[in-house]
């Protein structure tokens, strides 16, 4: 799809940008549904939360994983993962590579609970998946009787946790108030993993990593162990953590604008050129679909940049301002 836009009255458009709020486009990657780890039920539980926070929820669940193509992934601002398919073989190496490249180009995958079980026993795919998420599921500490324990956020709070609160200590699996959530431990941690929260489960002596982030190229992966079933999903603390992680992942900044929809009035692709209308320092980066930077420019005033130097193909175009978020869009240059 060509993104060749005529912007027209730039001054008028810029004057309205500060109040423009385009929806955050969330890719919800569904998976195997069990009685507890039920992605469809979670989708229905979160639908109202997404709508209230200006997010469009795009649920995708099919063995072909057709949404893991570069063109399809380019439609989304952030990905949300909640899957538990331990032995699945339906994901191809190319599809996983596409997903990793999408993140590396500057996107974020927000993963919860059972996503570290995914492809757990599937050889190389399991290793590559674990390396992406930062670790693989190990055990429940002391079987399924263990609970999530007392969770402590590292201070100062990471931006993905800003404004959120910790979940109260959950009950045992045999019942109790106010809810029960599963205890989880992980293995094969990647060296660049940054732990944001730890939990002291009721049968584990040491505090175990519970929430973490890790970089992937210019993007990030976020993981949160909480969320076994509806007991946790309905907790306001958990919903708040989901919303904040997705907002952080979509790079919602003080300008309130982001992504391809935001960049349309900012950048004019007419006749293969882009026009940045702001009279302030900025950088323009051009990357291929694998996230490799091909060209970059720096400017101080309203500037025009010629994209006709690019070979035919698909590219990410980013405009970065020191005091604003990064605006990103997909650009397809025809031969």
pLDDT given at position 5: 26
Residues 239, 296, single domain; the answer is no
Q: Which of 196, 215, 249 is the last residue of a domain?
A: 249
In a domain, 4, yes or no: no
In a domain, 5, yes or no: no
Distance CA 28, CA 294 (A): 30
In a domain, 1, yes or no: no
In a domain, 214, yes or no: yes
Backbone Cα Rg of the chain: 21
The domain in which residue 199 lies consists of 24-249
Residues 188, 48, single domain; the answer is yes
What torsion do the CA atoms of 145, 146, 148, 151 make, to the nearest 10 degrees? 160
pLDDT given at position 151: 92
What percent of the chain stands above pLDDT 70?
76
Per 3-state DSSP, the chain is made up of helix, strand and coil in percentages (nearest 5) of 25, 30, 45
Distance CA 60, CA 30 (A): 6
Residues 184, 320, single domain; the answer is no
Residues 285, 235, single domain; the answer is no
pTM of the model: 0.71
Residues 204, 313, single domain; the answer is no
- Domain with residue 234: its CATH number is 3.40.50.880
Query: Structural domain tally of the chain?
Result: 2
Residues 128, 234, single domain; the answer is yes
Task: Confirm if 295 and 283 have CB atoms less than 8 A apart.
Answer: no
In a domain, 3, yes or no: no
User: For residue 230, how many other CB atoms are within 10 A of its CB?
Assistant: 14
Phi, psi of 15 (to 5 degrees): -65, -20
In a domain, 236, yes or no: yes
CA angle 81, 87, 90 (to 5 degrees): 70
In a domain, 235, yes or no: yes
- Domain with residue 291: its CATH number is 2.60.40.3080
Q: Which of 249, 265, 289 is the last residue of a domain?
A: 249
What's the pLDDT tens digit per position in 82-126? 986 666 777 888 999 999 999 988 889 999 999 998 888 788 888
Specify which residues 305 forms β-bridges with: 274
Checking if the pLDDT of 181 tops 70, the result is yes
Residues 211, 141, single domain; the answer is yes
Q: Which of 190, 219, 249 is the last residue of a domain?
A: 249
What average pLDDT score do residues 17-43 get?
77
Chain centroid to CA 74: how far? Answer: 13
Residues 98, 187, single domain; the answer is yes
In a domain, 157, yes or no: yes
Residues 245, 326, single domain; the answer is no
Residues 318, 184, single domain; the answer is no
If residue 331 lies in a helix (H) or strand (E), which one and from where to where?
strand 326-333
Residues 207, 297, single domain; the answer is no
Count each helix (H run) and each strand (E run) in the chain, helices first. 8, 16
- When the pLDDT of each residue in the chain is averaged and rounded to a whole number, the result is 79
What's the pLDDT tens digit per position in 263-317? 554 555 556 777 776 677 888 888 876 667 888 888 887 778 888 888 877 777 7
Residues 300, 326, single domain; the answer is yes
């Amino acid at each position: 799809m060509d993104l060749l836009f005529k912007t027209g009255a730039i001054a008028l458009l810029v004057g309205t940008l500060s109040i423009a709020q385009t929806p955050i486009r969330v890719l919800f990657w569904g998976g195997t549904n069990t009685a507890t780890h039920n992605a469809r039920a979670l989708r229905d539980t979160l639908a109202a939360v997404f709508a209230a926070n200006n997010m469009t929820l795009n649920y995708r669940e099919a063995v072909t994983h057709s949404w893991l193509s570069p063109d399809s992934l380019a439609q989304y601002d952030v990905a949300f993962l909640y899957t538990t398919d331990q032995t699945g073989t339906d994901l191809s190496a190319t599809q996983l590579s596409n997903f990793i490249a999408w993140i590396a180009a500057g996107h974020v995958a927000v993963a919860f609970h059972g996503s570290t079980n995914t492809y757990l026993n599937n050889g190389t795919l399991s290793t590559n998946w674990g390396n992406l998420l930062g670790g693989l599921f190990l055990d429940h500490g002391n079987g399924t009787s263990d609970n999530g324990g007392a969770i402590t956020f590292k201070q100062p709070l990471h931006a993905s946790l800003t404004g959120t609160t910790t979940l109260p200590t959950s009950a045992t699996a045999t019942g109790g108030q106010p809810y029960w959530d599963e205890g989880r431990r992980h293995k094969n941690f990647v060296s660049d993993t940054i732990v944001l929260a730890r939990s002291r489960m009721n049968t584990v002596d040491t505090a175990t990593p519970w929430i973490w982030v890790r970089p992937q190229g210019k993007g990030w992966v976020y993981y949160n162990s909480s969320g076994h079933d509806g007991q946790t999903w309905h907790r306001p603390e958990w919903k708040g953590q989901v919303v904040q992680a997705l907002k952080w992942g979509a790079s919602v900044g003080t300008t309130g604008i982001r992504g391809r929809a935001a960049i349309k009035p900012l950048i004019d692709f007419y006749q293969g050129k882009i026009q940045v209308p702001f009279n302030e320092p900025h950088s323009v980066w051009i990357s291929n679909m694998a996230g490799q930077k091909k060209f970059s420019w720096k400017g101080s005033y309203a500037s025009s940049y010629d994209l006709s130097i690019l070979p035919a193909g698909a590219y990410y175009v980013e405009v970065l301002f020191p005091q604003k978020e990064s605006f990103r869009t997909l650009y397809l240059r025809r031969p």
